[in-house]
Amino acid sequence: MFERFLAFIRELTGEEIAGRHLGGDHPAVAAAALLFFVMDADGERAESERKILEEEIAASYDVLGERLAEIVAAGEKAEQESVDLYAFTSILNQHLDHESRIEFVGMMWEIVYADGIRTEVENNIVWRVAELLHVERADRIRMRHEVEERRPGSSGTKDEVETD
């Protein structure tokens, strides 16, 4: 599902991630920060959510081990220090094509459903990020349904509120 996203990220600047400074303006850090934002939305950090976050970052940026840990830590720190989503989404808008932004929305849904429950606040954050990434409602919902299909028993919200 994320093959195009992976290829695009790897070709981003022609540079390898290894050895590059990991500031808040680095696309991998921005992506990790947004995934942490979604992960923290319901006030609970499940180990399954962090595992999915690490798997998605590792696959998307072709990193493992210490470099993966650095990206994840930098993303977590950036998320904790941020006041809004715009700084991160603007970085991804600069570096990702439209299809890759849609696939990133799919990554957010993976985090949402990692604990088996979609809360209203998680749903709202994915909606806001998708809007900032210029991902249309139909694509956001399609990505949610694709994740729900892969994760049986994960549909619906914690508070039984159906939101798009």
71 φ, ψ (degrees, to nearest 5): -65, -45
pLDDT tens per residue, range 23-69: 667 999 999 999 999 999 999 899 999 999 999 999 999 999 999 99
CA dihedral 154, 160, 163, 164 (to 10 degrees): 20
pLDDT score for 151: 79
pTM, entire model: 0.81
- How far, rounded to the nearest angstrom, does the alpha carbon of residue 138 sit from its chain's CA centroid? 18
Residues 18 and 63 sit within 8 Å (Cβ to Cβ): yes
Residue 14 CB-density burial (10 A; 0-12 exposed, 13-18 middle, 19+ buried)? exposed
Residues 64 and 14 sit within 8 Å (Cβ to Cβ): no
Question: What is the domain partition of the chain in residue ranges?
Answer: 3-12+23-150
Residues 54 and 67 sit within 8 Å (Cβ to Cβ): no
* Fold assignment, 3-12+23-150: TerB-like (1.10.3680)
pLDDT score for 49: 94
Q: Note down pLDDT in tens along the chain; length 164 residues.
A: 556 665 555 555 444 444 455 666 799 999 999 999 999 999 989 999 999 999 999 999 999 999 999 999 999 999 999 989 999 999 999 999 999 999 999 999 999 999 988 999 999 999 999 999 999 999 999 999 999 998 766 655 554 444 56
Task: Give the three-state DSSP class for 157.
Answer: strand
